[in-house]
Structure 1
Amino acid sequence: MATLEKIRSKGGVFVAIFIGLALAAFILTDLMSSGPSIFSGNQTEVLNINGKSIGINEFQNKISEMEEFNKLNTGATGLTEEETYSLREQIKEMFISQALLEERYEQLGIAVTSEEVLDMVTGRNIHPAIYQHPLFADPGTGIFDPQRVMSFLQNKNVDPTAYFYWMVMEEQLINEKLFIKYGNLLKKGMYMPTALKNQEIAARSKSVDFDFVGVRLSTVADSLITVSEKEVKDYYNKNKKYFKREATRDIEYITFAIEPTDADRTAALEWVNKLIGDFSSPEVDPIQFVNLNSDIQYIGRNQRLAEFSSQVQDFILSAKVGDVFGPYFEDNAYKASRLVAINNMPDSARARHILIRETTLDATNALADSLMDLIRKGADFADLARRYSQDPGSAINGGDLGWFTEGMMVPEFNDAVFKGKTGDLVKTQTQYGIHIINIQQQGPATPKYNLATLVREIHYSSETYQDVYRQAARFAADNNTPEKFNQAIEEGKLVKRYGRSIRENDNYVGGFTSARELVRWAFETNVGSMSPVFEFDDQFVIANLVNAAEEGYASVNEVSPQITAYLKQQKKAELLAAQIEAKLASGASFETIAADYNTEVETVNGLSFSDIQVPGAGVEPALVSAAVNTPAGQISKPVKGNNGVYVLKVNNVETVEVSEDLLNTEFAQNTLMTVDYQLIRALRNDAEIKDRRARFY
């Protein structure tokens, strides 16, 4: 139990470091079994990756394990529906990556030895997830202590919670190491051929000045271009792989918002009126009263007059301490405010500090007192901050925190700075340790006001909820066909909304979160069906399924408009290129071509091969390539680009020195990035993956 409490109290930061590492990399292996589930089969199969079946029991066990791991780290009792959906997505990716990578590891003989694991947790190459884990830090200094790792490992076998926690951590470390080894093999096997390197150097060694004329494809009227049905079919057949799609659904829907009524607002107002008498009593502690009764707890800040709304400002200007204002309406709530204090305080301050955190509180105070004595005797504050402060962010600047306003720091620190005066050297304790604070500067003192505010937020009542539901249910019953549905929307001038290209495992539809019920309905019903009444995000929803596209290839008819538009653009480019080439052959100048197409001659200076955009043309790699490779003084052939057709003349070529070492470094960096970010994607592209989670979730 002691270990469990330590994990819960200290593991929060670790979640961000370690879970992020494991889940983002998609390399978590199966903690329970690396083989196929004995329950796998058509009815219980959740995933199938290249023939390897993952059953519902195996998949759900993984979810349960990671939920438990999250509870140990955060102390949370469970996950929200949205968090659970996200976890299912991540675990799906884990299983896919596991299946794809394990085969490669086995083929190549990649493994991680126990000695390597020990080195990552207690050796010379400690993994950041271990080194930065609060569980393995000295409680007094916050510094990593390898002895605490050893102690944890020695005791984990007698504590089931610690054993489970370590097994998860160890598997992450092992699998990250495997992934790195595999990636490094690929990276070391990649190189830039000499011919390609020389070609790249030659291209980069030029900086060109040139003139060009660009003729936009849009200048050719669509009516001048004809694309035949055969051309569309031929293109489709040659490029069919690009039209592969997931199963999707399209819906139309309307919503009935569950919003507070006038009666709900009146109830909130009556609640404040009922309590305002007690709240106004001089015998009542206003802060305690607010914390016991209000929907929003006491803030405890001294605020400038301008920070309050105009109606509260009017009250403050004529009020004395103890006066109460309200009820008043603000921020969708009814409120009553009591003036607790009026203080003259600076609005901002500049301070520096030294944060001390030793193994015990007595030792921390002793060191802090010693340093304060040295400072009073003339020691340099900034030098001591650099040497002793446990706040690395400010220590490097001599402890300087710069200017900050009230409320930015934790309360104890804030009060020490804003209740003190310029030049004070004070000591205060916060959750982070003992602070030695030097107040360097304070802004001019201005009146500030401390208010305790009783708040009753306006929410809809159960009666309102039931009334809106009855409206939605009546609409659904009366309009149970698409024809009636649309007619009622038109007659009632309701707002019809659309959900397009919904995928089988989606969790979001339109602006709704956690809309799995609606998604599952859309995939289990037929086109033309009307949905039951769903509830999402304080809204009731009624939907109509208008289209269903199954997994496979989109038909040629479905993608014909897309293909036709693309082929028209290609034909426009060919037409313009032929026209411009004919004009050049007849001796037309740049100016003549520009005038013929109602455009201008553009001039570009200092363009190199590494440039992405061309001024006056946009992102046109073909134009960049043509400019760099066209000899000086020569007019190019027409260049077909993304947005238009171009013809250019290079006026000047400058030689630019290109560092081969720099090119090698750039290639190495690009290789690292490519392998790290594209490895799993490349494996997935060649894999056959069947995702059947929608059967179960």
Structure 2
Amino acid sequence: MGLMTFLRNRAGYILIGAIGFAIVAFLLGDAIKVGKPFWADSQRVVGSVDGEDISIEDFGKKVEQSEAQFKQQYGGSANPQMQAMAVDNVWQGEVASILLNKEYSRLGLSISGDELFDLYQGKKPSPLIVQYFGNPQTGEVDRNAVIGSLKQAEKTPELKAQWALLENEVEKQALQQKYANLIKSSVYVTSLEANDEYVNRNKLANFDYVSLDYASIADASVKLSESDYSDYYNANKKRFDNPAETRSFDYVSFNVAPTAADSAVVKAQIEKLAGEFRVAKSDSLFAAINSDVKVPYTYLTKGKLDPAVDSAIFALPAGSFYGPKFSGSSYKLAKVVDSRFSPDSVKASHILLDPAKLGGVDKAVKMADSLKGLIQKGGNFAALAAQYSVDGSKDKGGELGTFARGQMVPAFEDAAFNGQAGDLKVVTSQFGVHLIKIEKQIGSSKVVKLAYIEKNLAASSKTKDAAYKKATSFLNEVKGNDFTKLAQKNGYTVAVADKITASQGYAPGLDNPRPLIKDAYAADKGDVLGQVYQMDNAYVVARLTDIRPKGLLPLESVKKEIEPMVRNAVKAKMLTEKLDAAVKGASNINQVAQKVGKQVTPIQNIVFANPIVPGAAQENKLVGTVFGSPVGKLSAPVDGERGVYVFTVTGFSAPAPLANTFKQKEGMAAGIAQRALGQAFQTLQDKSKIKDNRVKFY
């Protein structure tokens, strides 16, 4: 009744407020973007750095470019992991660009016109200019090629756009180098620091110790109090500073593995396919239509196929049929169309003609034949390439360098590898008509030309439907029930994905986790996510178990994971009391050992910079205490990583005096400078307000 009375009494105010909001929304929406409410623009922002927005349109284009680069670098098709790498790569670049540009402005860093000229044509060219215009053998830049390309860019819009991108990257790299040099020049190492570092790495300590291990006390006998937890937490707070929000979830996988019946069906299909393949009139066409894996119909070098198939294929003569062979998770069939010995690599040049500009392929071929005739009569290939070629290599006289098989389109590759050094060949590809000059052929290895079929062994739709039905049934039943108990009741294994960040492209046991992670970041702790997630070979049902925000985590969030350390801290107190009692009245380490029933362990030649105790563990606190102790004195108990120790230093071996302080300082400064650059950028990020919305889009 109270709520209804409140609404009746204030209905007028609520109505007026609603109308006012609608008018403001209408006016602002019209001013910003017709047909969209004023808050819609925030839906297009993938993140912001100190108030500077990163739009999804620009970001998305860069992600596509980064994905394409990864595909080219690693091969294969795009996958969730590759996309996640691309997204993270672009995000880091955007954050760095915004933060560093602000730093450049604040510090007054810029690149002058003279510096830019020097980066393109001077004595110290940009690494990017060296990459594009440098001689691979000498590393020298062809400055005439740079000038020629810049002149050509004034006439060619596409080349002009490419130069604009290159110039931007050259300037960006130069500014980054200036900033890096500024950071490095701020690093200084004193003579005292140099001597300390030298001593820490060369002074040797010998000592004897007695230890009582934490494992000597049963875990069940140690009762932990709230003060034990809070004492450990307060003493180690820096460990609990969470750099980014994370979420954890439990999940059950319903595998979609081929059954014995599925395998029998696929085997029957592949045997039927093999029979048809044997008598097929067009080997390459039949293979292209029926194979799950596309292998180019061209000559292949050894090592390109599945190892189980590769060795067998290269031992067969031309005309042989191979398979069906099951290996990995697929059946393989192959016809050996031809085998021969061929160069390992070829050095070639070409002149590329554009049929669209010459009135068709026939006219382009005639032009190529004419150019071929001129060259055979003594014409200069490089000069003709510079005049007629539409390819970027024209500025280098058509030179393409040295390439192996698989780097060129099939028509071009066949001409280059099947000819002889000195040959001129005219071929047509999807890029146009090429006049190829074979400069040199290197090496010789056996190659084979195959018509190749690979059929994957996959689960049938019936098997997939059965797995999906089980997953859906579990999802419906688990709502309102205990996730773990219900899974155990049904005999399902509960897996854990712990501390997953919003942009992470992988999760333990999951091959396509991004949709699941996105939903996890829109859920509340304890929620069962509302759908069945499809992986490559499984269906998954998940429940969000933990949310860890960015920043200092409270004790309750880390209580479970610090329990072993807290227990060891309590054990350390118990063992310290025992060793304290043993040390009282003892004049040497042997008497302490006798009292606690342990052996004395001698240690030789330990250095401060490498605190590994043989047979124990990395014991920083123990070794640090050793180097701060006098020779021959029985120490107080020291709680370490594996147990509590009492020791006696038996001697130190001091190194010879530092011979070259300057060289020591120089080496230390170089190492510190290298770390300082990364630390400086991390500090910029820590002191900036960065909002990351990537999980909404990817």
Name the TM-score class by shorter chain: 0.5 to 0.7
- The alpha-carbon distance between structure 1 residues 295 and 687, as it changes in their structure 2 partners (threshold 3 A), is closer
Equivalences for residues 93-492 of structure 1 within 5 A: 93-133=92-132, 136=133, 144-201=141-198, 203=200, 206-220=203-217, 228-230=225-227, 232-233=229-230, 236=233, 240=237, 242-245=239-242, 246-260=244-258, 262=261, 265-266=264-265, 269-270=268-269, 272-274=271-273, 276=275, 279=278, 294=291, 297=295, 327=324, 329-335=326-332, 455-460=453-458, 463-464=461-462, 467-468=465-466, 471=469, 474-475=472-473, 478-479=476-477, 481-483=479-481, 489-490=487-488, 492=490
Q: Hey, what's the Cα distance between the residues in 1 that align with 2:628 and 2:482?
A: 65
* Two-structure CA RMSD over aligned residues (Å): 5.2
**Distance apart, 1:434 and its partner CA:** 5.2
- The alpha-carbon distance between structure 1 residues 486 and 560, as it changes in their structure 2 partners (threshold 3 A), is closer
Q: Which moved more, 1:247-256 or 1:73-82?
A: 73-82
The letter of the residue matching 2:254 is: F
Q: Hey, what's the Cα distance between the residues in 2 that align with 1:496 and 1:162?
A: 56
- Residue equivalent to 1:693: 694
Q: Hey, what's the Cα distance between the residues in 2 that align with 1:79 and 1:211?
A: 59
3-state SS in 2 of match to 1:210 = strand
Alpha-carbon contact 1:338-1:452 (below 8 Å) kept: yes
- The alpha-carbon distance between structure 1 residues 148 and 469, as it changes in their structure 2 partners (threshold 3 A), is farther
- Residue equivalent to 1:603: 602
Match of 2:518 among 493, 517, 520: 520
- Residue 664 in structure 1 maps to residue 662 in structure 2: no
- Residue equivalent to 1:91: 90
Equivalences for residues 620-631 of structure 1 within 5 A: 620-631=619-630
**Distance apart, 1:176 and its partner CA:** 2.7
Q: Which moved more, 1:518-527 or 1:633-642?
A: 633-642
Alpha-carbon contact 1:140-1:358 (below 8 Å) kept: no
3-state SS in 2 of match to 1:498 = strand
Q: Hey, what's the Cα distance between the residues in 2 that align with 1:73 and 1:632?
A: 59
- Residue equivalent to 2:647: 647
Alpha-carbon contact 2:194-2:668 (below 8 Å) kept: no
Spell out, residue by residue over 1:275-319, the C-alpha distance to the aligned partner (whole angstroms, 9 max, x if none): 5256258xx686886577555647968999xx9979x98x999x9
State the TM-score, normalizing by the size of structure 2.
0.67
**Distance apart, 1:61 and its partner CA:** 1.0
- Residue 60 in structure 1 maps to residue 57 in structure 2: yes
- The alpha-carbon distance between structure 1 residues 335 and 267, as it changes in their structure 2 partners (threshold 3 A), is same
Alpha-carbon contact 1:337-1:452 (below 8 Å) kept: yes
Alpha-carbon contact 1:269-1:334 (below 8 Å) kept: no
- The alpha-carbon distance between structure 1 residues 119 and 599, as it changes in their structure 2 partners (threshold 3 A), is farther
**Distance apart, 1:460 and its partner CA:** 4.0
Alpha-carbon contact 1:249-1:500 (below 8 Å) kept: yes
3-state SS in 1 of match to 2:591 = helix
Q: Hey, what's the Cα distance between the residues in 1 that align with 2:192 and 2:82?
A: 51
**Distance apart, 1:468 and its partner CA:** 4.6
Q: Hey, what's the Cα distance between the residues in 2 that align with 1:208 and 1:183?
A: 39
Alpha-carbon contact 1:638-1:646 (below 8 Å) kept: yes
**Distance apart, 1:619 and its partner CA:** 1.8
Spell out, residue by residue over 1:124-156, the C-alpha distance to the aligned partner (whole angstroms, 9 max, x if none): 1122222123xx357999974222222333333
Alpha-carbon contact 2:520-2:544 (below 8 Å) kept: yes
Spell out, residue by residue over 1:339-393, the C-alpha distance to the aligned partner (whole angstroms, 9 max, x if none): 87999x9xxxxx9x9987789999x99xxxxxxxxxxxxxxxxxxxxxxxx999x
Spell out, residue by residue over 1:62-121, the C-alpha distance to the aligned partner (whole angstroms, 9 max, x if none): 431463587699899996554443332223222322333333322322222232222222
The letter of the residue matching 1:92 is: W
Q: Hey, what's the Cα distance between the residues in 2 that align with 1:302 and 1:46?
A: 45
**Distance apart, 1:457 and its partner CA:** 0.9
- Unpaired runs of 5+ residues, structure 1, are 1-37, 346-350, 366-389, 393-409, 417-425, 443-447
- The alpha-carbon distance between structure 1 residues 606 and 633, as it changes in their structure 2 partners (threshold 3 A), is same
The letter of the residue matching 1:479 is: E
Alpha-carbon contact 2:619-2:641 (below 8 Å) kept: yes
Alpha-carbon contact 1:260-1:458 (below 8 Å) kept: no
Alpha-carbon contact 1:225-1:568 (below 8 Å) kept: yes
Q: Hey, what's the Cα distance between the residues in 1 that align with 2:253 and 2:682?
A: 39
Spell out, residue by residue over 1:391-418, the C-alpha distance to the aligned partner (whole angstroms, 9 max, x if none): 99xxxxxxxxxxxxxxxxx9999999xx
Spell out, residue by residue over 1:404-445, the C-alpha distance to the aligned partner (whole angstroms, 9 max, x if none): xxxxxx9999999xxxxxxxxx97999997557799xx9xxx
Alpha-carbon contact 1:203-1:628 (below 8 Å) kept: no
The letter of the residue matching 2:252 is: I
- The alpha-carbon distance between structure 1 residues 482 and 325, as it changes in their structure 2 partners (threshold 3 A), is same
The letter of the residue matching 1:687 is: S
- Residue 673 in structure 1 maps to residue 674 in structure 2: yes
**Distance apart, 1:268 and its partner CA:** 5.7
**Distance apart, 1:632 and its partner CA:** 4.0
Spell out, residue by residue over 1:465-511, the C-alpha distance to the aligned partner (whole angstroms, 9 max, x if none): 87357625752575251528667644543333333333333333333
**Distance apart, 1:647 and its partner CA:** 0.9
**Distance apart, 1:561 and its partner CA:** 4.3
3-state SS in 1 of match to 2:541 = strand
Q: Hey, what's the Cα distance between the residues in 2 that align with 1:578 and 1:264?
A: 67
Q: Hey, what's the Cα distance between the residues in 2 that align with 1:119 and 1:338?
A: 57
Q: Hey, what's the Cα distance between the residues in 2 that align with 1:302 and 1:148?
A: 35
The letter of the residue matching 1:270 is: Q
**Distance apart, 1:610 and its partner CA:** 3.5
The letter of the residue matching 1:663 is: Q
The letter of the residue matching 1:113 is: S
- Residue equivalent to 2:21: none
- Unpaired runs of 5+ residues, structure 2, are 1-37, 352-371, 377-400, 404-412, 426-435
Q: Hey, what's the Cα distance between the residues in 1 that align with 2:479 and 2:662?
A: 70
The letter of the residue matching 1:685 is: D
Q: Hey, what's the Cα distance between the residues in 2 that align with 1:482 and 1:571?
A: 40
- Residue equivalent to 1:682: 683
Equivalences for residues 607-618 of structure 1 within 5 A: 607-618=606-617
- Residue equivalent to 2:492: 494
Q: Hey, what's the Cα distance between the residues in 1 that align with 2:527 and 2:654?
A: 67
Match of 1:509 among 507, 510, 513: 507
3-state SS in 1 of match to 2:493 = coil
Equivalences for residues 508-587 of structure 1 within 5 A: 508-526=506-524, 527-551=526-550, 553-562=552-561, 565-577=564-576, 579-587=578-586
Question: Taking every aligned residue pair, what percent have the same amino acid on both sides?
Answer: 20
Spell out, residue by residue over 1:574-619, the C-alpha distance to the aligned partner (whole angstroms, 9 max, x if none): 5545544553441343233334445432333333334342323332
The letter of the residue matching 1:648 is: T
3-state SS in 1 of match to 2:539 = strand
3-state SS in 2 of match to 1:500 = strand
**Distance apart, 1:517 and its partner CA:** 1.9
**Distance apart, 1:330 and its partner CA:** 4.7
Alpha-carbon contact 2:206-2:652 (below 8 Å) kept: yes
Q: Hey, what's the Cα distance between the residues in 2 that align with 1:151 and 1:39?
A: 50
Q: Hey, what's the Cα distance between the residues in 1 that align with 2:213 and 2:438?
A: 66
Q: Hey, what's the Cα distance between the residues in 2 that align with 1:95 and 1:272?
A: 54
Q: Hey, what's the Cα distance between the residues in 2 that align with 1:39 and 1:171?
A: 34
Q: Hey, what's the Cα distance between the residues in 1 that align with 2:138 and 2:192?
A: 57
**Distance apart, 1:123 and its partner CA:** 1.5
Alpha-carbon contact 1:209-1:651 (below 8 Å) kept: yes
The letter of the residue matching 1:535 is: Q
State the TM-score, normalizing by the size of structure 1.
0.67
The letter of the residue matching 1:475 is: S
Aligned length: 586
Q: Which moved more, 1:234-243 or 1:185-194?
A: 234-243
Q: Hey, what's the Cα distance between the residues in 2 that align with 1:260 and 1:248?
A: 35
Alpha-carbon contact 2:245-2:548 (below 8 Å) kept: yes
Q: Hey, what's the Cα distance between the residues in 2 that align with 1:138 and 1:302?
A: 28
